[in-house]
Amino acid sequence: MKAETHPDYHTITVKMTDGTEFQTRSTWGSEGDTLTLDIDPTSHPAWTGGQRQVDQGGRVAQFNKRFGGIKLGGKKG
C-alpha cells in the first residue's frame, strides 16, 4: 500500500444516546476521542417503530383541507 493514499485509522469511543459506550476503529477525530451520538438505533423512529414527524397530520388530509373546496368544471356534451 502507498503510505499517502489511505486514511489514518485509530481507536475512538462511541457513546450512544442511552449512555452505553463501545470502542471501534475509525477515521473520525483523533486517537482516543469520544463520538457522542444524537440519534442511534435505540432512539431513532426507524428502529423503534415510532411515527415519523413528516407524516403526522396526514399529507392527503392537508391537501384536502387546502384544495378540497375547488370544483372543476367539465364539458357537457
Residue ranges making up the domain that contains 35: 1-39
- Percentage of the chain surpassing pLDDT 90? 35
57 in any annotated domain: no
Predicted confidence at residue 49, as pLDDT, reads 77
Question: CA-to-CA distance for 16 and 29, rounded, in angstroms?
Answer: 17
Where does the pLDDT of residue 77 fall: very low under 50, low under 70, confident under 90, or very high at 90 and above? low
Q: Is residue 27 part of a domain?
A: yes
The order of strands in the sheet holding 21-26 is: 21-26, 10-15, 34-36
**3-state secondary structure at position 50:** coil
6 domain residue, yes or no: yes
User: Residue 14's pLDDT is what?
Assistant: 95
44 belongs to a structural domain: no
Predicted local distance difference test score (pLDDT) of residue 52: 55
> What is the pLDDT, as a whole number, of residue 1?
63
Domain total for the chain? 1
Within a domain: residue 51? Answer: no
Inter-CA distances, 29 with 2, 35, 48, 55, Å: 22, 8, 29, 36
pTM of the model as a whole: 0.55
Mean pLDDT of 45-49: 76
Closest CA relative to residue 28, chosen from 46, 50, 13: 13
Residue 21 lies in a domain: yes
